Amino acid sequence: MGCTALVLATTALATGTAQAHGRDTARQTLARGDGWASATTGTTGGAAAERVFTVTTWAGFKAALAEAGTAPRIIKVRGTLDADGADCSDFAADGYDFARYLADYDPAVWGYDTDLEAEKATAGTQEYLRDRSAAAQAKAVKAAVPANTTIIGVGRGAGITGGSLQINGVDNVIVRGLTLESPLDCFPQWDPTDGDTGNWNSEYDAAVVYNATHVWLDHNTFTDGDHPDSTLPAYYGRLYQQHDGELDVVKGADHVTASWNVFEDHDKTLMIGNSDGAGATDEGKLRVTLHHNLFRNLVERAPRVRFGQVDAYNNSYVANGDFGYAFGIGFRSQLVAEKNAFTLPRGIGAGTVLHRWNDSPVTAEGNLVNGVPTDLVAAYNAANPAAPLSSGAGWKPVLRTQVDPARVVTRVVARGAGAQQLR
Ligand code: CA
Ligand code: CA
């Protein structure tokens, strides 16, 4: 066993992660030094597996994940797995009626002062039935990933629609080569107290890393696919938001590398840390490396950071008019953003790349905005003089294997990122 592991590790070192022509990508490990997931024990996923599954259905995929034990496993995904079936009505509890839900909680009736938590606990109410329906959907669309697993797409068009990968409380997971179409929550909850005029909130990130360690997400495409927010209706004057995040890294998760992914067509994209009050689990954790990812046509959170030492280098941002911000500077975040390239449309300035949620220092060096070397902190501060950001995250990333000059990043990432580019 030691011998096999040594050969694999050597192979990964010699070839890097992006150029491995002619090898079995399912047995690749994260190269030594390639971001935070390579720290300490590194990330090998199921590379040494004797158990190799090839799945073509969501049920088959969940069965492969559920097989007992933590010996390494490889799950090859062929074609698109449909996690949520044809119709939301499959999950609806008896008596749930959305028209009645809308009538019962219309702000003209219910107001904006009282949340629905007590309703949820009261059998027979529409909020209770909505919650029961949501539980049925959650059971169907969430897939728990065990330790020592590689999940990899094979062939063209491999991926999952409507599913939520739960990498929760485990170590050593690799996810590669999948197109992950964001799950649509069939049963968003109306929260009248969220903001001044209420909001619809949804569950289900396409993937969540929750209290898990050594996770490598590589060459995946995260997208809203056929269901962008622009196709969603509005009720009570608010967007009926059926999406949550594309990727969340939360609750003590640590040692994550996300490389060569596409994150596209989404609002709240990538959240690292979900609460200012999570210091007990998150302080000193949430260490994530993001490199050579394409962030395209997004609104915000690419990523939004709390607590973590996050290293974002060589990422390409291609924005449209929906762009809100890229890097959200949150509570006790320690973001380093170097040699990224931003392509912003006319009318959207470099001062929007950063967003201050909290006065945490940030290192931003060597970045280009529309080809022009730009100090992102200075640009932010020029646009927001009343509440400036300070420079200097206080640490220096060393776990990098391949740093490209910023001027080639847009091109290199366009050519190499995403599920179809895994070779
Ligand atoms: Ca479906
Ligand atoms: Ca989430």
Buried-state track 62-88, b at ≥16 Cβ within 10 A, e below 16: bebbeeeeeebbbbbbbebbebbeeeb
Query: What's residue 100's pLDDT?
Result: 98
Helices (runs of H) and strands (runs of E) counted in the chain: 9, 30
Known catalytic residue at 301: yes
- How many Å lie between the centroid of ligand 1 and the Cα of residue 84? 5
CA of 201 to the centre of ligand 2 (A): 10
| Per-residue tokens: 48 | 């040494």
CA-CA-CA-CA torsion sign (118, 124, 126, 132)? positive
Strands 51-55 and 367-369: unpaired
CA 81 to centroid of ligand 1, rounded, Å: 9
User: Residue 246: how many CA atoms within 13 Å on its side-chain side?
Assistant: 32
Ligand 2 centroid to residue 144 C-alpha, Å: 15
Nearest ligand, CA of residue 183?
Answer: 1
Q: How far is CA 200 from CA 127, 187, 188, 208, in A?
A: 13, 10, 6, 20
Calculate the dihedral angle through the C-alpha atoms of 98, 101, 103, 104, rounding to the nearest 10 degrees: 170
Among all bound ligands, the one having the nearest atom to the CA of 250 is: 2
Question: Residue 406, SS3?
Answer: helix
The ligand whose atoms approach the alpha carbon of 88 most closely is 1
Q: What is the pLDDT of residue 52?
A: 98
The string of DSSP letters for 203-260 reads ---SEEEES-EEEEEES-EEE-TT--GGGS-EETTEE------SEEEETT-EEEEEES
Q: What is the pLDDT of residue 353?
A: 98
Residue 178 buriedness (CB in 10 A; 0-12 / 13-18 / 19+) = buried
pLDDT of residue 423: 78
Half-sphere exposure (CA, 13 Å, Cβ side) for 359?
6
Annotated catalytic residue, options 27, 132, 301, 304: 301
Q: How far is ligand 2, taken at its centre, from the CA of residue 158, in Å? A: 23
Ordered per-residue pLDDT tens for the chain, 423 residues:
333 333 333 333 333 444 444 579 999 999 999 999 999 999 999 999 999 999 999 999 999 999 999 999 999 999 999 999 988 999 999 999 999 999 999 999 999 999 999 999 999 999 999 999 999 999 999 999 999 999 999 999 999 999 999 999 999 999 999 999 999 999 999 999 999 999 999 999 999 999 999 999 999 999 999 999 999 999 999 999 999 999 999 999 999 999 999 999 999 999 999 999 999 999 999 999 999 999 999 999 999 999 999 999 999 999 999 999 999 999 999 999 999 999 999 999 999 999 999 999 999 999 999 999 999 999 999 999 999 999 999 999 999 999 999 999 999 999 999 999 997
Tokens of residue 334, six digits: 């320690």
Cα 19 to middle of ligand 2, angstroms: 32
- Helix, strand, coil fractions of the chain, as percent rounded to 5: 25, 30, 45
Q: Where are the domains of the chain?
A: 87-421
Which superfamily is assigned to 87-421 in CATH? Single-stranded right-handed beta-helix, Pectin lyase-like (2.160.20.10)
Ligand 2 geometric centre to CA of 274 (Å): 8
Q: Distance from the CA of 111 to the center of ligand 1, in angstroms?
A: 34
- Pick the ligand that lies closest to the CA of residue 186: 1
345 φ/ψ angles, rounded to the nearest 5 degrees: -75, 165
The pLDDT value recorded for residue 86 is: 85
- The ligand with the least distance to the CA atom of 201 is 2
Which two three-digit tokens encode residue 356?
A: 């201050």
